[in-house]
């Protein structure tokens, strides 16, 4: 099998799993300054899926692509630590405030610039917006097939790739021709850990903007080791239409956000007897809650 | 995500010790390596940052893979299939995770695929692995054998065997013990004969109690000189598992560390390569290997102790009796605090010892390339002396303390701790071996007593004393008193001119010195970090009375008393 060219779409998100008391502003929007950031969990699964293909087919090239503020360069470094070949950062103030439509447009412009790829993978959804829209929108804009909720790549053939999808009601095996976009489900294998030597090699990888802080030691090092320069693409670099990006390109407008507290309207008290438990299991299966 | 590195701030603290500057500089050849290797550190801060980042990976794998597999590994254990040791499923996963992360051969030089880590961060990694699963720590920790090949092997042997550790994840074993040669390795019989025709050494015989005996690369102690019966007839060999000339006859059934296979091996015309020179097997190479292994058991003991303490703390904070959580009862909070205090002390001693060994090793390495300056030679000698007595000291004190801490932790759990419901039951069993293997506590005392008789411990105590600041005068007075007692009683025992009497009291004397040393280390720590202030005070109070007890016992002891101990009543065996 020939080596593949894979693009991993990854996002830096607020760590919503460790939320403090002031995580939300009074107006109901996220107080990003108060939340630490993490690699979006589903995207880590996508990264693993790509690296796994690289293990299976030596020579496979994995490029990690992220869009975000400067701090998001952490995502690229994390990718290097775990084994990607290249990283590209899409960063420009004008991209800020994008909804899914503007985001997918921006990412697609970058992918078009990369041009040569067989497979694009991303997480099923990000834990900040939970939309699960960006992946499918990208596939649509690129006019390529998409396979969502992928759990495992079963077979990689010359002209098609076969994957298992994890759905609410079971699993589905599908095949798709290249190039194809896949979104990866959290039930797929966890991402491998960082590799010691890669951490040592790439810990000083920086974008040009990050380098503006002016550190003579790092500057000298970057001249000597070009692999430490993370490419950074602006609006012009990806030839984007400014009316389709950022806030201006986002038709989604948040009118208001309110906090909903769910209350139980109906509850049942069960004892720990076998018959009660059995009854509950039967009822849950009947309502398709489990099974 | 849980992480055993980030949840233990002591690691970063111990990496900050000023002497580490020297270690890193020597180890990194004054940072010249960064010209050749793009993953070598540029300067000291870069090196420390790298160690921390790599230890964070270890901490992640320990917390999220190794610790979670520990229970199933303990239940499943290894087995033999077609003359091959098959690890428990979890063990294989653990090893793969560390191998994938590039953490095999951490302290090997870069040209052999290693990370060129000093011992300090490597031993920290070992502590974390042991906290996660002490049995697995043996399998991973046997990469120490690579160090021995590096130190004493030929260039060809280094090129042949060393790259396999990091590249292929080769496992290793130290094959020393035999049915009749346990503590007394001079009695080793496994026969090595030189085949003139094929120009190779051939091994024949039986080895027993071999940890990870079916490893890829084994260091074997064998008798190469026919007709000899002592240490001078023994040589060290490398056996490569790819030669398939060893039968794994039996796996021991054990009390603890069940994930680590303990093998009985039969060498059948097994081809092997001689390491270094003939006849130096035991007297030089095994001694060196043993010293690293002892430091390893020190780390394993501290890791186990920490695991036991955390289990006790968690349980005591959750379990309520008589209307309140049990951590609020004096009997329980005393146990918990004493555990913590002891762990802080042991860890300080462990990393102090490691730093001594590190400097020694770094100079040995420099010596390969150039002659040492006079000052450097003196320093190397100084740290060599300290390493020789601190290594058995940490092995002895940490292993004994980890057993006590595991005992207390199980006690905190009450009846539940005796059941297989909580990890403490496994930790308690796993801890038991630490004071036995790689030399029993009694043998460590025999090695460490030299620190008492030659005055090395006392000299070091005096050196620490000069660093104590005036604000700690109260605690320093207590330590002075302890040191005085120690000096008096050690003198009194030595003056009686009886090696037997010294042997008899060796553990007591060594432990007294160890307590004073740990007391000083904690006081010095407290001068750098507030959190050790309380620990230092509690520890000194605790061990002051322990030392007093030993002092009193030895004070009233004369040579004649020994006789009473020799007169053992054998009647009970007659029936």
Q: Would you list the DSSP string of A149-175?
A: EEEEEEEE-SSEEEEEEEETTEEEEEE
* Mean local confidence (pLDDT), B402-426: 97
Summarize pLDDT for B168-227 with one digit per residue, the tens. 999 999 999 999 888 889 999 999 999 999 999 999 999 999 999 999 999 999 999 999
Specify the DSSP element, H or E, that contains B201. Answer: strand B200-211
Token pair belonging to B211: 């940890």
CB contact under 8 Å between B50 and A225, yes or no, is no
Q: For B443, what's the count of Cα atoms within 13 Å in the CB-facing half-sphere?
A: 14
Average pLDDT of span B502-506: 96
* Predicted confidence (pLDDT) per residue in A50-67, tens digit: 999 999 999 999 999 999
Rounded Cα gap, residues B536 and B529, in angstroms: 11
In a domain, B445, yes or no: no
Q: Each residue of B26-53: pLDDT tens digit?
A: 999 889 998 899 999 999 999 999 999 9
Nearest-CA distance from B94 to chain A in Å? 12
Q: How confident is the model at residue B335 (pLDDT cuts 50, 70, 90)?
A: very high
Percent of chain B with pLDDT over 90: 92
| Chain B residues touching A192 at Cβ < 8 A | 100-101
Q: How many residues does chain A have?
A: 291
- What is residue B480's three-state secondary structure? helix
B57 vs A193, A201, A203: nearest CB: A193
| Of B126, B45, B25, residue with least CA distance to B350 | B126
What is the percentage of chain B residues whose pLDDT exceeds 70? 100
Candidates A126, A95, A34, A120; CA nearest to A238 is A95
Distance CA B117, CA A92 (A): 40
Residue whose tokens read 């049995």 = B135
Q: How confident is the model at residue A256 (pLDDT cuts 50, 70, 90)?
A: confident
Task: Indicate whether B500 belongs to any domain.
Answer: yes
Q: Say how far apart CA B251 and CA B550 lie, in whole Å.
A: 41
User: At which of B257, B279, B301 does a domain end?
Assistant: B279
Residue that is written with structure tokens 């043993």 in the block: B290
Please determine, for residue A257, whether its predicted confidence score (pLDDT) is greater than 80.
no
Say what the pLDDT of residue B433 is: 98
pLDDT tens profile B72-90: 999 999 999 999 999 999 9
The Cβ of residue B142 has, within 10 Å, a number of other Cβ atoms equal to 22
Report the alpha-carbon distance of residue B361 to residue A173 in Å, rounded: 57
Domain ranges of chain A: 5-244
State ipTM: 0.88
How far is residue B264's CA from residue B250's CA, in Å, rounded to a whole number?
5
In this predicted structure, what is the pLDDT of residue B63?
97
Residue B210 lies in a domain: yes
For residue A19, pLDDT over 80 is answered with no
Question: What CATH number has the domain bearing residue B207?
Answer: 2.40.110.10
Q: A228 preceded by cis ω (within 30°)?
A: no
* CATH number of the domain where residue B555 is located: 1.20.120.470
DSSP state at residue B251: E
Cβ neighbours of residue B154 closer than 8 Å, sequence gap 6 or more: none
Cα dihedral sign for B509, B511, B516, B521?
Answer: positive
From chain A, pick out residues whose CB is under 8 angstroms from the CB of B109: none
- Note the pLDDT tens digit of each residue in A157-191: 999 999 999 998 899 999 999 999 999 999 999 99
Q: Locate the chain B residue with the closest alpha carbon to A81.
A: B101
Per the structure, how many domains does chain B have? 2
Mutate to test the interface with A, among B38, B47, B50, B163 (most CBs of A within 10 A): B38
Q: Residue B431 domain-assigned?
A: no
Q: Which residue has the tokens 């299976």?
A: A56
Instruction: State the pLDDT at residue A214.
Output: 82
Whether B96 and chain A come into contact, CB under 8 Å, resolves to no
- Quote the pLDDT of residue B575: 64
Contact B151, B110 (CB under 8 A): no
How far apart are the C-alpha atoms of B164 and B146, rounded to whole Å? 10
Nearest chain A residue to B59 by CA: give it. A193
B259, B279, B299 - which closes a domain: B279
pLDDT at A28 over 70: no
- Which of B262, B279, B296 lies at the terminal end of a domain, its last residue? B279
Active site residue B127: no
Q: Which residue of B has its CA nearest to A38?
A: B1
- In the predicted model, what is the mean pLDDT of residues A91-105? 89
Q: How confident is the model at residue A264 (pLDDT cuts 50, 70, 90)?
A: low
In a domain, B240, yes or no: yes
Question: Pick the catalytic residue: B273, B400, B425, B438?
Answer: B438
Task: Judge whether A199 is closer than 8 Å to chain B, CB to CB.
Answer: yes
Contact B14, B347 (CB under 8 A): yes
pLDDT(A27) > 70 = no
> Cβ of A30: how many Cβ atoms within 10 Å?
15
Q: Determine contact: B35 vs chain A, CB below 8 A.
A: no
Collapse the DSSP code of B546 into the 3-class scheme (helix H, G, I; strand E, B; otherwise coil) and give the result: helix
Work out the mean pLDDT of chain B and round it to a whole number: 95
Per-residue pLDDT at A228 exceeds 80? yes
Q: Is the pLDDT of residue A132 over 90?
A: no
Query: C-alpha dihedral over B291, B297, B301, B304, to 10 degrees?
Result: 150
Q: Which CATH class is domain A5-244?
A: alpha beta
End-to-end CA distance of chain A: 38
Q: Which of A126-135, B158-167, B270-279, B286-295 shows the lowest per-residue confidence on average (mean pLDDT)? A: A126-135
Per the model's pLDDT, the better-predicted residue between B12 and A131 turns out to be B12
- Is the residue at B199 inside a domain? yes
- List CB contacts (< 8 A) between A201 and chain B: 38-39
DSSP one-letter code for B63: I
Is the CB of residue B160 less than 8 Å from the CB of residue B168?
no
Looking at B212-300, which runs of residues are DSSP E strands? 217-223, 234-240, 246-251, 262-275
Higher pLDDT, A73 or A96: A73
Domain hosting B263: range is 172-279
pLDDT at A29: 65
Pairs of CB atoms within 8 A across A/B = 44
Prediction pTM value: 0.91
Given a cut of 90, is residue B242 above it in pLDDT?
Answer: yes
Q: What's the pLDDT band for A106 if we cut at 50, 70, 90?
A: very high
């Amino acid at each position: 099998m020939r080596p593949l060219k894979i693009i991993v779409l990854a996002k830096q998100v607020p760590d919503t799993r460790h939320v403090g008391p002031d995580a939300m502003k009074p107006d109901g929007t996220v107080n990003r300054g108060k939340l630490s950031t993490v690699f979006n969990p589903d995207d880590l699964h996508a990264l693993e899926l790509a690296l796994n293909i690289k293990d299976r087919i030596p020579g496979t090239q994995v490029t990690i692509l992220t869009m975000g503020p400067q701090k998001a360069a952490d995502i690229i470094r994390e990718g290097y630590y775990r084994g990607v070949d290249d990283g590209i950062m899409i960063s420009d103030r004008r991209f800020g405030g994008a909804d899914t439509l503007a985001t997918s447009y921006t990412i697609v412009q970058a992918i078009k610039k990369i041009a040569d790829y067989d497979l694009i993978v991303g997480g099923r959804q990000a834990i900040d917006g939970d939309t699960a829209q960006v992946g499918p929108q990208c596939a649509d804009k690129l006019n390529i097939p998409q396979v969502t909720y992928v759990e495992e790549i079963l077979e990689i053939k010359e002209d098609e790739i076969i994957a298992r999808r994890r759905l609410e009601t079971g699993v589905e095996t599908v095949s798709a021709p290249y190039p194809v976009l896949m979104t990866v489900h959290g039930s797929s294998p966890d991402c491998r850990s960082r590799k010691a030597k890669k951490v040592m090699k790439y810990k000083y990888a920086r974008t040009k903007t990050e380098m503006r802080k002016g550190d003579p030691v790092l500057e000298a090092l970057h001249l000597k080791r070009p692999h430490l320069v993370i490419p950074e693409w602006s609006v012009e670099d990806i030839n984007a239409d400014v009316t389709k990006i950022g806030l201006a390109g986002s038709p989604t407008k948040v009118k208001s956000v309110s906090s909903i507290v769910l209350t139980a309207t109906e509850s049942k008290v069960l004892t720990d007897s076998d018959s009660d438990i059995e009854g509950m299991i039967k009822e849950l299966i009947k309502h398709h809650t489990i099974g | 995500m849980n992480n055993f590195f980030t949840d233990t701030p002591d690691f970063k603290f111990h990496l900050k010790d000023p002497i580490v500057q020297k270690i890193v500089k020597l180890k990194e050849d004054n940072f010249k390596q960064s010209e050749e290797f793009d993953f070598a550190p540029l300067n000291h801060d870069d090196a420390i940052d790298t160690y921390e980042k790599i230890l964070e990976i270890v901490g992640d794998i320990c917390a999220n893979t190794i610790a979670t597999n520990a229970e199933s590994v303990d239940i499943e254990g290894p087995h033999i299939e077609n003359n091959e040791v098959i690890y428990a499923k979890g063990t294989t996963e653990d090893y793969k995770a560390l191998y994938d992360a590039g953490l095999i051969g951490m302290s090997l030089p870069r040209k052999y695929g290693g990370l060129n880590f000093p011992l300090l961060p490597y031993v920290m990694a070992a502590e974390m692995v042991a906290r996660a699963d002490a049995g697995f720590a043996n399998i991973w920790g046997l990469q120490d054998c690579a160090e021995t090949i590096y130190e004493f092997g030929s260039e060809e042997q280094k090129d042949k065997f060393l790259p396999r550790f990091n590249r292929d994840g080769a496992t290793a074993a130290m094959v020393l013990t035999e049915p009749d040669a346990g503590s007394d390795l001079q009695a080793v019989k496994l026969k090595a004969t030189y085949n003139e025709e094929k120009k190779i050494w051939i091994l024949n015989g039986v080895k027993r109690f071999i940890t990870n005996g079916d490893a890829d690369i084994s260091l074997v102690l064998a008798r190469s000189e026919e007709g000899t019966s002592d240490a001078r007839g023994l040589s060290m060999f490398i056996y490569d598992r790819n030669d398939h000339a060893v039968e794994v006859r039996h796996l021991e059934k054990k009390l603890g560390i069940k994930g680590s296979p303990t093998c009985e091996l039969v060498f059948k015309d097994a081809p092997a390569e001689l390491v270094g020179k003939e006849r130096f097997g035991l007297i030089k190479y095994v001694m060196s290997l043993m010293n690293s292994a002892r430091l390893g058991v020190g780390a394993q003991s501290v890791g186990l102790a920490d695991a036991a303490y955390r289990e006790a703390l968690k349980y005591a904070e959750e379990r309520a009796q008589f209307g309140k959580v049990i951590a609020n009862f004096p009997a329980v909070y005393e146990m918990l605090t004493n555990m913590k205090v002891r762990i802080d002390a042991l860890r300080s001693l462990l990393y102090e010892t490691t730093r001594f060994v590190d400097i020694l090793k770094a100079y040995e390495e420099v010596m390969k390339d150039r002659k040492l300056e006079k000052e450097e030679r003196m320093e190397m000698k100084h740290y060599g002396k300290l390493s020789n007595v601190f290594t058995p000291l940490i092995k002895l004190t940490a292993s004994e303390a980890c057993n006590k801490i595991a005992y207390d932790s199980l006690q905190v759990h009450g009846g539940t701790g005796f059941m297989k419901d909580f990890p403490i039951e496994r930790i308690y069993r796993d801890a038991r071996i630490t004071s036995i293997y790689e030399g029993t506590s009694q043998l460590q005392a025999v090695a460490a007593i030299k620190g008492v008789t030659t005055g090395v411990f006392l000299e070091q105590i005096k050196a620490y004393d000069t660093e104590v600041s005036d604000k700690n005068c109260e605690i320093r007075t207590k330590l002075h008193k302890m040191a005085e007692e120690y000096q008096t009683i050690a003198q009194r025992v030595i003056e009686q001119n009886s090696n037997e009497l010294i042997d008899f009291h060796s553990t007591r004397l060594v432990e007294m010195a160890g307590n004073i040393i740990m007391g000083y280390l904690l006081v010095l720590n407290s001068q750098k970090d507030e959190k050790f202030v309380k620990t230092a005070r509690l520890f000194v109070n605790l061990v002051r009375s322990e030392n007093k007890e030993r002092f009193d016992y030895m004070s009233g002891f004369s040579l004649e008393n020994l006789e009473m101990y020799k007169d053992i009543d054998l009647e009970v065996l007659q029936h």
